[in-house]
Amino acid sequence: MAINVDTVYKTVLLILNQQQRGYITPDEFNKVGTQVQLGIFEKYMSDLNQQLRIPENDSEYGNRVKNIEERIDIFKRIGDAVYAAPFFDLPAVTDLYRIGSVIYNDHIEAQMVERNELYLIKKSPLTAPTKEQPIFLYENKKISLYPTTITSSVQVSYIKKPVDVQWNYSVGSLGQFEYNSATSVNFELHESEQVDVITGILLYSGVIIQDPTMIQIASQKIQQEDNNEKS
């Protein structure tokens, strides 16, 4: 499902050459590619929020909410929250972007509340949280889970940030850059985003593409050349 970083880089180089717009080094490509990927990733959240306000589309393949969620699914993870009284710390990861659900005992989902709601909920015997119906407050990247007798068996689903793009290489006998697939890192985005990724990188390089089919043709040419080298 990932987008091959080598295909993207070679396509960008091919188009830059055709447009006589110079050259982008691997280091420049990695930095720009990472920024473009992050921009597309962050746009998923605002796009999803916007589409949720629009009446649903019953079409199996034209449902925009479903299509955006499919792209976000790539980044969904779940991890253990560790109790450090009186809070639960988020999963011990460096790539956490946004939390989703807080789950107790593998199957009970806690309800998120705001602080102004918390006091009212706890005050009433009818709405007071229980282990079967827990609630949580999320502030300053800490989770306060109620009832406070819950101190273990808590997991958090979350969306992770995409990893930085890396087109890594070794230096050949003539000083040329030779792609190293073993140490390179592909774009984590859905493969349908390949044209947008290439377009974004070209924009950073000062190239505006009026016809997206130009990118598709260039990508196909690069793919065919790679297949010929392997055959």
Distances (CA, A) of 138 to 68, 121, 144: 25, 16, 6
**Among candidate residues 160, 192, 213, the one where a domain is terminated:** 160
Domain stops at, among 111, 131, 160: 160
Kindly state the tokens that stand for 85.
Answer: 């009284």
Residues 156 and 193 grouped into a single domain? no
The parent domain of residue 15 ranges over 5-70+166-230
Number of domains in the chain: 2
DSSP one-letter code for 192 = G
Q: Say whether both 143 and 181 belong to one domain.
A: no
Instruction: List the structure tokens of 197.
Output: 């990724």
Minimum mean pLDDT among 53-62, 89-98, 209-218: which range?
Answer: 53-62
Asked if 159 and 98 count as a contact pair (C-beta separation under 8 A), the reply is: yes
Which pLDDT belongs to residue 45? 86
Q: Which of 50-54, 75-79, 225-229 is predicted most confidently?
A: 75-79
Q: Identify the weakest region by mean pLDDT among 13-22, 128-137, 173-182.
A: 13-22
Residues 213, 192 share a domain: yes
Split at pLDDT 50, 70, 90, the class of 143 is: very high
What are the pLDDT digits (tens) for 90-116?
999 999 999 999 999 999 999 999 999
Asked if residue 220 and residue 187 are part of one domain, the reply reads yes
Q: Are residues 145 and 181 in the same domain?
A: no
26 shares a domain with 12: yes
Same domain? 22 vs 47? yes
> How high is the pLDDT of residue 102?
98
CB 148 within 8 A of CB 86: yes
Q: Which two tokens stand for residue 54?
A: 């629009």
Judged against a pLDDT cut of 80, whether residue 129 lies above it is answered with yes
Residue 146 three-state SS: strand
pLDDT band at 210 (very low <50, low <70, confident <90, very high): low
Supply the pLDDT for residue 199: 92
Say yes or no: 109 and 185 in one domain.
no
Mean confidence (pLDDT) of the chain: 89
Q: Give the pLDDT confidence score for residue 166 in this predicted structure.
A: 98
- SS3 call for 112: strand
pLDDT band at 206 (very low <50, low <70, confident <90, very high): confident
Q: What's the rounded mean pLDDT across residues 49-70? A: 73
Q: Look at residue 174 in the predicted model and tell me its pLDDT.
A: 87
Residue 98: which region, alpha, beta or left (left: phi > 0; alpha: psi -120 to 50)? beta
Q: How far is CA 75 from CA 1, 42, 142, 195, 202, in A?
A: 12, 12, 21, 20, 25
Residues 156 and 188 in one domain: no
Statement to judge: residues 17 and 86 lie in one domain: no
Contact predicate 143/156, CB 8 Å: yes
* Interval 40-67 mean pLDDT: 76
Domain final position from 160, 177, 212: 160
Domain check: are 204 and 226 in the same one?
yes
Task: Tell whether 188 and 125 lie within a shared domain.
Answer: no
Residue 66 pLDDT more than 90? Answer: no
